[in-house]
Structure 1
Amino acid sequence: MPLPLAPLWELYFNNTSKNLYNIYVHADPSFEYDLPFSGVFTQRVIPSQSSLRFTPTLASAARRLLAHALLHDSGNYMFAMLSPSCIPIHSFNFTYGTLMKSNKSFIEILENEPGSYDRWAARGETAMLPEVKLEDFRIGSQFWVLTRKHARLVVSDSWIWSKFNKPCRNYDTCYPEENYFSTLIHMRDPRGCVPATLTHVDWSISSGGHPREYQESEVGPELIFKLRNDKPRYGDDGNNGSDLAVMKGRHPFLFARKFSRGSIKPLLSIANDVIFKD
């Protein structure tokens, strides 16, 4: 199944006006899917290309999604990037209301992170120069929410993208999807964003460069409450503290990952009484 958590998302969008959202799916055409995309995902797959870790193709896929969304509907206001292993941890109405009240993007922008130099130099020690200096290089989650202004900034950018689109020499430190968007917005419009991701992820347990994956036995009301109330990791505050204060005073996370295929049954069992009950 291409989207194992799709039944939860079906409930999420259920009884919601279709005028309030659009869905776009980037599906690697080289992968053989067991079942076609159905339900709210019917005919939502955009023209896609193969994508691989440790290459610029994951960032390319995100840029492709944004470009398609911008052209498809001029009313698209906020653009949330999610993975097939993501789940909502609030109702649609709560999430929609939270995002529509903001005129800023939510994107993690971390400075002076361990391994920053190695990531910056993954294509060669001078490959990023002169466009992207080490002091301008940032790290952040690949799952963000961008305003239309920033979505247009991403798809129109060629100056910074020309550097991140180069193949890496050192694949162990090559994560363009975690560096390009944070670096671009930091360099071009840092005051236009809240430097935090709205998608919770647990890196305290990781394997092979992947974060903790929640299994069926771990899913329950306690987990959802914990994810909602956990504190995000903030980067450099370019907004004089005002937006950060707002975020810290409310549930900052709207989504969470990484959830296994087997977790769908317990997730559905608590969907209406816990996940979608704010």
Structure 2
Amino acid sequence: MKTTQQQHHPPSSFPKHFFNAQIHLHKIISNFLIFAFGVALGASLNIYLKDFPFQLYSTQNKYSHLSTNNPPSSSPPPQSLNIPTNQTKAKTSAAGPAPPIGLKEYTKSPNILHEMDDDELLWRASLVPRRRGLPFKRTPKVAFMFLTRGRLALAPLWEMFFKGHEGLYSIYVHANPGFNDTMPENSVFYGRRVPSKNVTWGEPNMVKAERRLLANALLDFSNQRFVLLSESCIPLFNFNVVYSYLMDSNQTFVEAYDLPGPVGRERYRHKMRPQITLDQWRKGSQWFEVDREIATEVVSDEKYFPVFTKYCTPSCYSDEHYLPTYVSIKFWKKNSNRTLTWVDWSKGGPHPSKFMRTDVTIDFLKKLRHGSKCEYNGKRTNICYLFARKFLPNSLDRLLRFAPKIMKFN
């Protein structure tokens, strides 16, 4: 009987073991779910925390440009956040540190456009090296400076003159700011207008414009000779002759002479003493050619130019007296006392003759080129003028026709 009961009825401890097994299984499942949840939560937090500093950096970078104009009143972020500042970002940027600056960057031709006012421009242009000689090779250039009221009507003729001689010249145009006409992009005059102010012919502003042109041209260290021309000027020789004439000369070409009478000595103002005396007063053409030394001294002049600005009123015509007087006082030994720009005063009056289309002939141009005698580097020569004025716009077609033959352009 005991054997049969044992076979058909399990021991009384079986339900208790079964119940304990179920509880144990539930604990395993619960622990697994908790573990899985913890793993998922940890992974999510890990991803979020990796992105969190980047978001802070991006937010700071996004608004960093505002801090330059409107600095926040709050204190800087705690160092414990380790948020990079602009200075830190500059040091640790992917591009690395800026490349070192060599001599080439200091001496290369600058952009003609700038935001300097006259005082800043003249100061910058007055900087000169004190050591003689050059530690590098450079090709000297002639700076052609055009002082115009408006359109440069004879530009096509000058285009022919400059063609094929890139790297040997620089061009600067000072026009009235109210003139808005532009040159085509394929022109040598394109983008060559200097930042300018209003210009009134014959008044001190004219000399200010000349100094402004010189100062802009001096920013290019390669410019060694400086020629001032008007919109009515034409070249009388090809570029090679003009370039060699200027570069080989041991003189500068500023017309300066002592002229008695109402358009000479009587324009002198006695209030200019003691800086400028009557015996130093000179008259001459406003169209000149100077070397780099004189050009630098002119833009640096703080002794004589202020006197002209103050006392040389419009009837004094400082553009005819300032540079001739200044160069005669400071550089009379190296000045030729003549201009390179021919002009006709034979008809009298306050202005020289103007030449229209019918005046331009082959014989007339030949006369301008070789019809005079002068001195060049201590020797007599019949090449006295490299340029001539005043040619009206309607003379352009004949000039273009005769230039290749007479002046040997192209």
- With normalisation by structure 1, the TM-score equals 0.87
Which of residues 281, 290, 293 is equivalent to 1:137?
281
**Deviation for aligned residue 1:167:** 5.7
**Mapped pair 1:181 → 2:323:** yes
**Mapped pair 1:56 → 2:204:** yes
Cα distance in 1, alignment partners of residues 160 and 344 from structure 2: 25
Cα distance in 2, alignment partners of residues 168 and 188 from structure 1: 20
Letter aligned with residue 386 of structure 2: L
**Deviation for aligned residue 1:113:** 4.1
**Deviation for aligned residue 1:95:** 0.4
Q: State the identity as a percent.
A: 37
Cα distance in 1, alignment partners of residues 242 and 233 from structure 2: 14
Q: Any conservation in 1 of the 2:249–2:377 contact (CA below 8 Å)? A: no
**Mapped pair 1:114 → 2:261:** yes
**Mapped pair 1:20 → 2:168:** yes
Q: Which whole-Å deviations, capped at 9, do the CAs of 1:244-269 have from their partners, x for residues lacking one?
A: 742x4231100000000100011001
Letter aligned with residue 37 of structure 1: M
Q: Any conservation in 2 of the 1:55–1:167 contact (CA below 8 Å)? A: no
Q: Any conservation in 2 of the 1:105–1:147 contact (CA below 8 Å)? A: yes
**Deviation for aligned residue 1:46:** 0.5
Letter aligned with residue 201 of structure 1: V
Which of residues 350, 362, 366 is equivalent to 1:225?
366
Which contiguous aligned blocks of 4+ residues in structure 1 show a shift greater than 3 angstroms?
A: 242-245
Structure 2 residue ranges without an equivalent (≥5): 1-149
Letter aligned with residue 6 of structure 1: A
Cα distance in 2, alignment partners of residues 151 and 55 from structure 1: 21
Secondary structure (helix, strand or coil) at the match of 2:242 reads: helix
Cα distance in 2, alignment partners of residues 210 and 265 from structure 1: 24
Letter aligned with residue 151 of structure 2: P
**Mapped pair 1:152 → 2:326:** no
Letter aligned with residue 114 of structure 1: G
Cα distance in 2, alignment partners of residues 206 and 85 from structure 1: 19
Q: Any conservation in 2 of the 1:92–1:276 contact (CA below 8 Å)? A: no
Q: Which whole-Å deviations, capped at 9, do the CAs of 1:192-211 have from their partners, x for residues lacking one?
A: 2211100000011255x221
Aligned length: 258
Q: Which whole-Å deviations, capped at 9, do the CAs of 1:18-40 have from their partners, x for residues lacking one?
A: 2100000111103x34x313411
**Mapped pair 1:4 → 2:153:** yes
Which of residues 259, 265, 270 is equivalent to 2:402?
270
Residue equivalent to 1:239: none
**Mapped pair 1:45 → 2:200:** no
**Deviation for aligned residue 1:67:** 0.5
Q: Any conservation in 1 of the 2:250–2:377 contact (CA below 8 Å)? A: no
Q: Which whole-Å deviations, capped at 9, do the CAs of 1:102-158 have from their partners, x for residues lacking one?
A: 13211111113433222213xxxx221111101001011111110001001100001
Q: Cα 1:276–1:163, aligned 2, differ >3 Å: closer, same or farther?
A: farther
**Deviation for aligned residue 1:55:** 1.2
Residue equivalent to 1:102: 249
Cα distance in 2, alignment partners of residues 52 and 191 from structure 1: 32
**Mapped pair 1:257 → 2:389:** yes
Letter aligned with residue 165 of structure 1: T
Q: Any conservation in 2 of the 1:104–1:192 contact (CA below 8 Å)? A: yes
**Deviation for aligned residue 1:168:** 4.6
Q: Which whole-Å deviations, capped at 9, do the CAs of 1:174-193 have from their partners, x for residues lacking one?
A: 21111101100100110122
Which of residues 182, 189, 214 is equivalent to 1:36?
182
Residue equivalent to 1:66: 214
**Deviation for aligned residue 1:275:** 2.4
Structure 1 residue ranges without an equivalent (≥5): 235-241
Deviates more, 1:222-231 or 1:99-108: 222-231
Which of residues 350, 355, 365 is equivalent to 1:214?
355
**Deviation for aligned residue 1:83:** 0.3
Say which one has the larger Rg: 2
Residue equivalent to 2:146: none
**Deviation for aligned residue 1:218:** 0.6
Letter aligned with residue 292 of structure 2: R
Structure having greater relative contact order (Cα 8 Å, sep ≥ 6): 1
Higher helix share: 2
**Mapped pair 1:127 → 2:127:** no
Q: CA RMSD, aligned part only?
A: 2.0
Secondary structure (helix, strand or coil) at the match of 1:94 reads: helix
Cα distance in 2, alignment partners of residues 21 and 144 from structure 1: 17
